[in-house]
């Protein structure tokens, strides 16, 4: 992990993100993240996603291309699930319940059938940044890497996005994501809030939130091409 996140080699980020986030990798809190992850490995723990995919969301979607940001909590903690994009899983892995509910909402909201591509890479190619608030997790232990410094890093990502002069739609699902709302102060951006798509909370307002059609309506109103959520 250490070799992946040293500031002298930021090839795991897209070009504009490298320039914007380089300083973060030199800050004390990021040294704490490095130390924590090294300790996890030394103690025999596995963490997800694989080290080369920890920053994958920021590799696939360059800063200049971001149109929609979907903020999650932390990665899936099952073996082979997390692929570096919030809510997504590796190809061939069954969709977890949260992703099933996301697809169910898209089917009802957009009306073009239920998506089947669980990697969500086609969303990323259209400028949808799928960002967890915490970028790693110990195997089989949800929320195990909270409070270790990742929140500061993702705060910095959102701070940079807040200063963009083109509109972004932020979809904040659940308490962890909505805790970032106070960082989005630029009036050009739009915030859509709903409960988390987990089966524990989806019925409280995520299902029926219509965020996907609302996002496309906002994009149309700004003469920006829509997202094809069914890809």
- Beta-ladder partners of 89: 82
Catalytic residue among 9, 32, 62, 74: 74
Asked about 228 being catalytic, the answer comes back as: no
**Catalytic amino acids?**
74
């Amino acid at each position: 992990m250490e070799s992946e996140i040293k500031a002298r080699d930021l090839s795991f980020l897209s070009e504009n993100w490298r320039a914007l986030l380089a300083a973060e990798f030199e800050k004390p809190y990021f040294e704490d993240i490095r130390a924590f992850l090294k300790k996890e490995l030394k103690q025999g723990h596995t963490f997800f996603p694989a080290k080369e995919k920890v920053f994958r969301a920021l590799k696939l979607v360059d800063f200049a291309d971001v149109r929609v940001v979907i903020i999650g909590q932390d990665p899936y903690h099952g073996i082979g699930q997390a692929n570096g994009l919030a809510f997504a899983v590796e190809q061939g892995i069954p969709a977890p319940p949260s992703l099933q509910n996301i697809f169910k909402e898209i089917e009802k909201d957009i009306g073009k059938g239920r998506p089947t591509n669980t990697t969500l890479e086609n969303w990323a190619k259209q400028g949808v940044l799928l960002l967890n608030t915490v970028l790693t997790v110990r195997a089989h232990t949800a929320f195990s890497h909270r409070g270790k410094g990742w929140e500061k890093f993702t705060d910095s990502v959102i701070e940079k996005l807040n200063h963009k002069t083109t509109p972004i739609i932020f979809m904040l699902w659940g308490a962890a994501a909505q805790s970032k709302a106070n960082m989005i102060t630029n009036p050009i951006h739009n915030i859509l809030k709903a409960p988390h798509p987990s089966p524990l909370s989806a019925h409280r307002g995520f299902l029926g939130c219509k965020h996907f059609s609302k996002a496309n309506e906002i994009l149309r109103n700004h003469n920006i091409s829509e997202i094809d959520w069914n890809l």
